[in-house]
Amino acid sequence: MLVRMLKAIGANEVEEAANGHTALAQIEGRPKYDLVLCDHHMPEMNGLELLGQLRAREETKGLPFIVVSCEVEPTLMRRALELGATHYMEKPISDDDLRRKIEAAFKRLH
């Protein structure tokens, strides 16, 4: 669903990962990603664990990272933001909501 939404709002290149470990390996193996959009619930390594791993590395500590979750739990949202998430979005999300969060994430970089 997220891949479809990213393409619908104009993303040129989108890569998927089945779990946090795979995502981490993909990100480490590529010189530069523009953004990570990550569901909190993934097997093997969840989205917050992935976020923590990326924030601990110099080369990825500033990478925009949006967490998406079906959980409407304030403690989870707070934890994601404390770990350095750029945004936390509760499902269901719309293309317009996603576009606004991505645009806001890129504005923070400049």
Residues 21-71 pLDDT 10s? 999 999 987 768 899 999 999 989 999 999 999 999 999 999 999 999 998
- Residues 6+ away with beta carbon under 8 Å from 2: 37, 39, 68
For strand 36-39 and strand 87-90, is the pairing parallel, antiparallel, or unpaired?
A: unpaired
CA-based nearest residue to 79, from 107, 103, 55? 55
User: What range does the domain containing 76 cover?
Assistant: 2-109
61 touches 54 (CB < 8 A) = yes
Q: What is the CATH number of the domain that holds 70?
A: 3.40.50.2300
pTM for the structure as a whole:
0.90
CA angle 104, 46, 50 (to 5 degrees): 60
